[in-house]
Amino acid sequence: MTVDQVVADIPNGSTVAIGGSSLSRKPMALIRALARSSVKDLRLIVDVGGPDVDLLIGTGSVSEVIYAFVGFEVLGLAPHFRRARQQQALRFEEWTEYTVMAGLDATIKRVPFLPTHAGLATDVLSVNTSFRRFKDPFHGEELVAVPALKPDVALIHVNYADAKGNGVILGDGHVDVLCAKAARRTYMSCERIISSDELQRYGRDVQILRVHTTGVVELPWGAHPTGCAPDYRADLRHLQDYLRYSANDDAWRAYADQYIYTDQSRYLERQGGVEALLARLKV
């Protein structure tokens, strides 16, 4: 598939689950393609979000975010997320790391909810009205019902994939497998497409199975500026630039013109080209 075909499959108002975790293996090339399309009113589901959520909020593509975390880790807070939260510009629903997983898992298991203790005695239960407290029918224990999260689309980025849609993840797996299984349609970008024979050698690292995949796009450096272990580390210098460009509207328009409203090959040229990226980021 091509990036444009993926984007064409994502209509306004879609619920999109995004894999990766903060600064690790985010499907950023797909995210940028989505951001420069005319698609609007996306409902995002992320477990641990970072530049993915922040960039889509920055381009006005989002109406709602379901999240356990959105931040830039060692670099600080996510600027557009923070501003939108403080201006109450979008709908936000704070979940937690396991409850996002449980919500996706409920959809996979085709049950309306899954029970947990997580969130009890915290304020997450007071601000998140999607959760329900209930007493278990066996012993009367107080529990939280986590409703099923039903993504229309999942976007993930992996190290290698075959053309049929099996995907190899070498670093931390994050929640990509759950996203891929729960979504109606899963689009996977990869650093490199390899043959199905070659893929066999990766054994248990073949974490994404083709029965769950709708399409595969080969996008080298497709997670940049987040990292894709052990191929390349996060580009913290670009992310620092991103934070500076996010300081005001004019600067943000300049960032968008230079890095979002362009295709992946020009995007890579504007990072100094692949050779420079390799020298700087290859692990």
Is residue 31 near other proteins by the rule CB under 8 A?
no
Q: Which stretch binds other proteins (CB under 8 A): 29-37, 211-219, 233-241, 258-266?
A: 233-241
* DSSP code for 211: G
Say whether the peptide bond before residue 225 is cis (omega within 30 degrees of 0).
yes
Longest dimension (CA), the chain: 62
- For residues 104 and 182, the answer to whether their CB atoms sit within 8 Å is yes
- Residue among 33 and 54 whose Cβ is closer to other proteins: 54
Is residue 175 near other proteins by the rule CB under 8 A?
yes
The whole-angstrom separation of Cα 154 and Cα 136 is 32
Residues with Cβ within 8 Å of residue 259, at least 6 apart in sequence? 32, 267, 270
- Residue among 97 and 218 whose Cβ is closer to other proteins: 97
Q: What's the token pair of residue 256?
A: 């968008």
CA-angle at 34, arms to 276 and 91, nearest 5°? 120
| Binds other proteins (CB under 8 A): choice among 119, 167, 220, 225 | 119
Is residue 89 near other proteins by the rule CB under 8 A?
no
The whole-angstrom separation of Cα 224 and Cα 206 is 22
CA-angle at 121, arms to 120 and 127, nearest 5°? 80
> In the window 99-118, what residues touch other proteins (CB under 8 A)?
99, 101, 117-118
Distance from chain centroid for Cα 182? 14
- Residue at 263: amino acid letter: D
Q: How far is the CB of 237 from other proteins (least distance, A)?
A: 7
- Residue among 7 and 89 whose Cβ is closer to other proteins: 89
The whole-angstrom separation of Cα 29 and Cα 157 is 9
Query: What is the size of the binding site for other proteins (CB under 8 A)?
Result: 57
Place of tokens 């984007």: 7
> In the window 33-72, what residues touch other proteins (CB under 8 A)?
48, 67-71
Q: How far is the CB of 83 from other proteins (least distance, A)?
A: 8
| Binds other proteins (CB under 8 A): choice among 7, 145, 163, 236 | 236
Q: How far is the CB of 35 from other proteins (least distance, A)?
A: 21
| Binds other proteins (CB under 8 A): choice among 237, 244, 266, 270 | 237
| Binds other proteins (CB under 8 A): choice among 41, 64, 73, 263 | 73
Instruction: Count CA within 13 A, CB hemisphere, residue 73.
Output: 14
Is residue 231 near other proteins by the rule CB under 8 A?
yes
Is residue 172 near other proteins by the rule CB under 8 A?
yes
Binding site for other proteins (CB under 8 A): 21-25, 48, 67-71, 73-74, 77-78, 81-82, 85-86, 88, 94, 96-99, 101, 117-124, 127, 142, 159-160, 170-175, 177-178, 204-205, 227, 229-231, 233-234, 236-237, 283
